[in-house]
């Protein structure tokens, strides 16, 4: 398919800089420099490259150039979709366009190159893009995957116990594969004791983009919780979560689901985020397994999406 998108030198470097944090610490030193990226992908005298021309460049001789090419292609589509005029549908995310480049940007890497963790909400998270200039310009794109093969890594009781949560930044989710149920909640502080309280998450990790260990600490603030909406989404659907809005995202046990989840400060930010948990619990430690090799599940998803074409 032809994608009507031009990638400027500035955008290329912006995306490249934001790709670097998504690699493991040991891999970052192996990546090409900014000047090498521009030399490889932008012709002399030019200040941009067409998206279709970028993806046609042969980069198979170097796994990191190949990864960066495909990651830039995928991320540029997602950002173009998020920032597009609501009346312009031409750049809406198309799974057939974006997924192959997400897949190719990961599948040829070594497991030690990849940050891939299963967190407290029960899904595998792979960071794809992380930009934070500390001045309110924050964007963080992750690939989220739910699959029954992760069951051995998940404490289902704890996941359910702390499933209602909010995010500090506005979020947009795009469904690549499968189905997902999103429930929204009204959560109001209560002066009287209730069954639920706000919990704050405290992180302990050397990795900035996918934390290793978290501790949910009871703030002592009681809350009243009421479900306000229940929504079902399938492949190619999108939904948004406002900053500070409480929700849960769940899938059925027999369903493999993959989503692109983009956090951004452009549409809102709150001072802090919370999870909701049982009032009688003081704290709960959640351990994340950092050594997950995601290649088997990526191959499974790629096969399913190829069959759907």
Kindly provide the b/e burial profile for residues 53-77, where b requires at least 16 CB atoms within 10 angstroms of the residue's own CB.
ebbeeebeeeebbbbbbbbbbbbbb
**Helix locations, 8-119, DSSP H:** 9-19, 25-28, 34-41, 51-56, 63-83, 95-107
Q: Can you tell me which residue has the tokens 């759907």? A: 308
* Nearest in space to 238 (alpha carbons), one of 300, 184, 171, 305: 171
pLDDT of residue 215: 85
pLDDT of residue 120: 77
pLDDT of residue 3: 67
Give the pTM.
0.92
Strands in 98-178 per DSSP E: 117-118, 124-132, 138-146, 169-177
* Nearest in space to 114 (alpha carbons), one of 78, 71, 177, 176: 71
Please enumerate in sequence order all residues whose Cβ is within 8 A of that of 278, keeping only pairs 6 or more positions apart, or say none.
Answer: 161, 195, 196, 197
- CA–CA separation, 143 and 128 (whole Å): 7
CATH architecture, domain 116-297: Sandwich (2.60)
- CA–CA separation, 286 and 97 (whole Å): 36
- CA–CA separation, 122 and 20 (whole Å): 26
Residues in the chain predicted with pLDDT less than 50, given as ranges, are 85-91, 206
Q: Where are the domains of the chain?
A: 6-112, 116-297
pLDDT of residue 206: 45
Question: Residue 295 has which token pair?
Answer: 């290649």
| Residues 267-298 pLDDT 10s | 899 999 999 999 999 998 866 665 689 999 99
Question: Residue 253 has which token pair?
Answer: 């046990």
Burial (Cβ within 10 Å: 0-12, 13-18, ≥19) of residue 216: buried
* Nearest in space to 64 (alpha carbons), one of 23, 100, 102, 9: 23
| Residues 139-174 pLDDT 10s | 999 999 999 999 888 888 888 899 999 999 999 999
Average pLDDT score over the chain: 90
């Amino acid at each position: 398919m032809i994608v009507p998108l031009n990638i400027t030198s500035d955008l290329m470097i912006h995306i490249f800089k934001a790709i670097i944090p998504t690699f493991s610490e040991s891999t970052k030193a192996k990546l090409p420099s900014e000047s090498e990226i521009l030399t490889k992908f932008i012709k002399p005298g030019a200040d941009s490259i067409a998206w279709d021309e970028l993806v046609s460049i042969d980069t198979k001789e170097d796994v990191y150039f190949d990864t960066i090419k495909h990651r830039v292609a995928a991320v540029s589509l997602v950002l173009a979709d998020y920032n597009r005029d609501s009346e312009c549908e031409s750049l809406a995310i198309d799974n057939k366009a974006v997924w192959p480049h997400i897949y190719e940007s990961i599948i040829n890497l070594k497991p030690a190159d990849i940050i891939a963790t299963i967190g407290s909400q029960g899904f595998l998270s792979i960071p794809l893009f992380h930009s934070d200039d500390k001045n309110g310009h924050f964007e963080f794109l992750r690939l989220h995957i739910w699959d029954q093969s992760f069951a051995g890594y998940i404490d289902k009781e704890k996941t359910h116990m702390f499933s209602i949560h909010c995010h500090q930044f506005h979020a947009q989710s795009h469904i690549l594969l499968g189905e997902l149920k999103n429930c929204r909640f009204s959560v109001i502080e209560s002066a009287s004791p209730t069954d639920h309280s706000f919990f704050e998450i405290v992180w302990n990790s050397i990795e900035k983009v996918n934390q290793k260990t978290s501790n949910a600490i009871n703030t002592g603030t009681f809350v009243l919780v009421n479900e306000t909406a229940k929504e079902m989404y399938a492949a190619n659907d999108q939904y948004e979560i406002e900053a500070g809005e409480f929700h849960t995202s769940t899938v059925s046990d027999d369903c493999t689901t993959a989503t692109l989840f983009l956090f951004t400060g452009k549409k809102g930010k709150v001072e802090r985020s919370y999870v909701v948990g049982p009032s009688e619990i003081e704290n709960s430690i959640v351990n994340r397994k950092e050594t997950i090799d995601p290649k088997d599940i990526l191959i499974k998803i790629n096969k399913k999406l190829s069959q759907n074409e």
